[in-house]
Structures are given as C-alpha cells and as structure tokens.
Amino acid sequence: MESQIAKAIQFKYQPVALLWSEEKPADAMQFSEGKWGCVMWLAVSAAKGKPAVADRKTFGCAGGGVGLGFGNQYLNFPGGEEGFCHFLSSGNAGRPGGPELAKQIKPFMTKESHDHFLYGERYIKSPELVSKFVHALPMTDIPGKYVVFKPLSTVDVTQEKPQTIIFFANPDQLSALTVLANYGRGNNENVMIPYAAGCQTIGIYPYREAKSTKPRAVAGLTDLSARVYVRKQLDDPHFMTFAAPFALFEEMEQNVPGSFLERHTWLSLMKEKP
C-alpha cells in the first residue's frame, strides 16, 4: 500500500503495519523460544524493510506478551504478578523469598534485568500502584496465532487488513500526525499518550481504540527502557511512535489532500535541517 501520509511527511523509516495472522512471512525476523528480546526491535525491523513476527512462545518478555495481545503474561513472570509488581517498583530484594528467587533465575537473565529484579526499575512508586496499573491495562487475547510486523508498502489491503499502522516520527512529524488525527474530527483529543511499555502503545492500546466509533491514535516510546533498547537500531535518539488504528489511518489518509501538509508552514519545517 502506498501511503499519502508517508509521501507528505517523508519519514526516515517506513510506516509499519501490525497484523494478526495464522501464517508468518517466510523471511520474518523472530525471537527464539524462551529468549529475551524487546518487541520494539520487531517493529524497527519492519520499519527498515524486513518483516518480523511473534507468537505465544516468542514475544521476548512478559511485557511484550501483554503488549502484543497474548493475554496477561505477567502471571508467568518470575514470582508471578506480585514479582512483576515489585520489579517495576521497589524490587524483590526485600520481599519474602525474593532474594532466593533472584538467585535461581540469575543464569537466565541479563545483568541489568537481574539488578532490576532485585532493586526495581522504580517506574511506579509502589508494588500496590503497579498492581493498579496492571489491572487498568486493556488486556487482550487476540484470535490470531501470530502478530506480524510488515512494511506498509508491502501490504495489499484487499487481501489483508492491518490492525494498526505505526510511524516512527521525529518531533515535527509527530506534531504533524497529531494535527492530522484531529483535522476532520471537530474536537481536539484524538491522540493519547499513556504511560505504558513501548510495545503496549503500539499493541493493546491501539487495539482497544479500534473498538471505538472514533478511535484515537496512541503516541508512544515514552518507555525509557524501550528508548534505550531501540536507540542504536534507529540511529537517532529523537524518535517517538505514533500508532493509528487502521480505521483512523484510513481517515487520515483521506484528509491529506487540501490539508496543512500542502501549505507553507509545514513545508518550511520540512526544509529545515535537524
């Protein structure tokens, strides 16, 4: 599919289509079963032209499984959901059984992850607040076997329907996408920016929005850990994600002609060097 948005905004990386599928592309990037990986690497792979895929055994980490829509994978985190609640907040070192569990899982974790397990990522103030965060997430169990990331240019929308279209955007481009998402709506709150994992802002949050009669886009890569993980792959520290449910993407595509994207304010920003 050729995107009018991509032509007008001129992204460095291709827009990415996220699809649910019973089949996977033959040449797709995929994590090995049981191996850690960041789901955002799969999206970046597709943005660079190579499709990527995940299933219920190859989503990289518990948060990635949640983010892609494979149910509540925090239940399978070391120490269960309680272990995750401590991991994201104050750590498991002071929890009964926490140090012993940390010792058991140390051979299977990176040094950084093991340190976070013991002493916490400190992204949320307390385990109790993490529990509230987890139960507020739009948990999803998708009907498909695979979540596939493909360059949008390789998708035939007459044969397959994306769930979400993902853009990697610099601040000017993110601003343009935000304006365009609101352009034909008659209100001004059609883009949300939740606190969530990077994968959750391109997965379950857009999935939830897709069920609405007026779905909103989701701005992401506010996840500090994901920003660290993808920085080298993107070769630029300034990118954010903008994930549009497919119905909103189609609406935005139709609104490109005659919009601000053809006027001198946007065109002047396009000419400026970073």
pLDDT digits (tens, 9 = 90+) for 161-175: 999 999 999 999 999
Dump pLDDT digits (tens) for 49-60: 999 999 999 999
Tell me if 219 is assigned to some domain: yes
| Per-residue DSSP letter, 70 | B
Which residues, in sequence order, are bridge partners of residue 241? 168, 220
Domain endpoint, select from 91, 113, 136: 136
Domain endpoint, select from 91, 120, 136: 136
Mean pLDDT value of segment 70-93? 97
Give yes or no: residues 113 and 18 share one domain: no
Nearest-angstrom CA–CA distance, 221 and 242: 9
Q: Give residue 183's domain range.
A: 4-61+141-271
Dump pLDDT digits (tens) for 1-48: 999 999 999 999 999 999 999 999 989 999 999 889 999 999 999 999
| Neighbouring C-beta atoms of residue 144, cutoff 10 Å | 14
Tell me if 117 is assigned to some domain: yes
Give yes or no: residues 103 and 228 share one domain: no
- Tell if the pTM clears 0.85, that is, is over it: yes
What total number of domains does the chain contain?
2
Give the pLDDT confidence score for residue 109 in this predicted structure: 85
Give yes or no: residues 45 and 93 share one domain: no
Give the pLDDT confidence score for residue 265 in this predicted structure: 96
Give yes or no: residues 158 and 55 share one domain: yes
Give yes or no: residues 252 and 218 share one domain: yes
Domain endpoint, select from 118, 136, 154: 136
261-265 long-range Cβ contacts below 8 angstroms, 24+ apart: 261/8, 261/9, 261/176, 261/180, 262/8
* Number of Cα atoms under 13 Å in the Cβ half of residue 132: 6
CA-wise closest residue to 18 among 190, 197, 208, 146:
146
